[in-house]
Amino acid sequence: MGLKITDSVSASEKIEVKNAATVSNSKSASQNRNAKEKNRIFETKKWEIENLLKQEGCPVCWASNDQLERNWFWFFSESYGEGSGVSQYINFYGFCEKHTLEVAKRGPEYVKSAIYHWIISHKLPQLEQALREINENANSGKISIISGLEHRRVNKKLDVLKPSGSCLFCESYEATERRTVETLLVVLQAPEIRDLYGKTEGLCMKHFFKALDFTDSQYSCGLREILTFQVAKLKALEHDFDEYFRKTDYRFSKEPKGNEQTTWMRAIRTFIGDLEPKSKPNENRTSHEG
């Protein structure tokens, strides 16, 4: 009997142990899956950054300009007439100056006409309404619109007429910048990416400043790498400027001129980054060879 009880206890214990083992197995299986998934995501990010680092210039400028090029294409092909994008450019009365010039340069005539026709037909009634109210106030002798409560009420109404939100293209450009800077900071944990990064021109100052926004500890390794690189880059420019100014001295002005003469160009490029999309040297080479 006692034996039976012992047997039955040990059997139930066995089941519990087995259950516990099953739970722990499935836990470790799910941890394994998570680790594999994390690793897969990390490898994808690495691949993306490796490709960017093979291009000339600042990798974040490159990615953002490249994405913007694709956005232009889709915008003029179809999305100029789609939902939230339309509201955004209507409320902003179009785009920022820089991107308005691009719209003017790149957009098909029909699309440009449709965009500005929509903006005007949505905004004009609001402007007309405001004008009516101001006229009514003036005609009813409420000249006090220039002072006191009435003044504030009119101001509020006029505020609504001003552009709100942001430029569609600035917004998407900034989203790519931010995402690319973050990805770079993450994958700089990998020694092979650090090696590759060390052989490039690194970030422009504009994107270096963006990297400084990522203060979380997961980015600290990447941030250290970027900061180290940036210090070395500015030191090299400082050295070249010293050389340039040395050669402006009459005692050394007969020395042959070299790379130091174009330091100002490299400095400006370092500070401002690449404003225009660059051609893809690697791809061009492939297409010529192919």
- Quick check: 177 and 207 in contact, CB under 8 A? yes
Shortest reach from residue 152's CB to Zn ion, in Å: 32
Shortest reach from residue 176's CB to Zn ion, in Å: 11
Residue closer to Zn ion by CB (options 189, 200) is 200
Shortest reach from residue 80's CB to Zn ion, in Å: 15
Q: Which residues bind Zn ion (CB under 5 A)?
A: 58, 60-61, 96, 99, 167, 169-170, 204, 207, 273
Residue closer to Zn ion by CB (options 119, 170) is 170
Q: Residue 150: CA atoms inside 13 Å, Cβ hemisphere, count?
A: 13
Q: Tell me which amino acid residue 247 is.
A: K
Residue closer to Zn ion by CB (options 98, 153) is 98
- Quick check: 273 and 61 in contact, CB under 8 A? yes
- Determine the Cα–Cα distance for residues 261 and 247; give it in Å rounded to an integer: 9
Convert 237-269 to b/e letters by CB count within 10 Å (16 or more is b): beebeebbeebeeeeeeeeeeeebeebeebbeb
- Determine the Cα–Cα distance for residues 112 and 156; give it in Å rounded to an integer: 31
Shortest reach from residue 174's CB to Zn ion, in Å: 9
- Quick check: 65 and 99 in contact, CB under 8 A? no
Element counts in the chain: helices (H) and strands (E): 12, 0
Positive or negative: CA dihedral 6, 8, 14, 16: negative
Residue closer to Zn ion by CB (options 52, 154) is 52
Positive or negative: CA dihedral 250, 254, 258, 262: positive
Residue closer to Zn ion by CB (options 61, 115) is 61
DSSP string covering 101-114, please?
Answer: HHHHHHS-HHHHHH
- Determine the Cα–Cα distance for residues 105 and 119; give it in Å rounded to an integer: 19
Residue closer to Zn ion by CB (options 184, 190) is 184
Shortest reach from residue 59's CB to Zn ion, in Å: 8
Residue closer to Zn ion by CB (options 134, 237) is 237
Shortest reach from residue 85's CB to Zn ion, in Å: 13
Shortest reach from residue 67's CB to Zn ion, in Å: 13
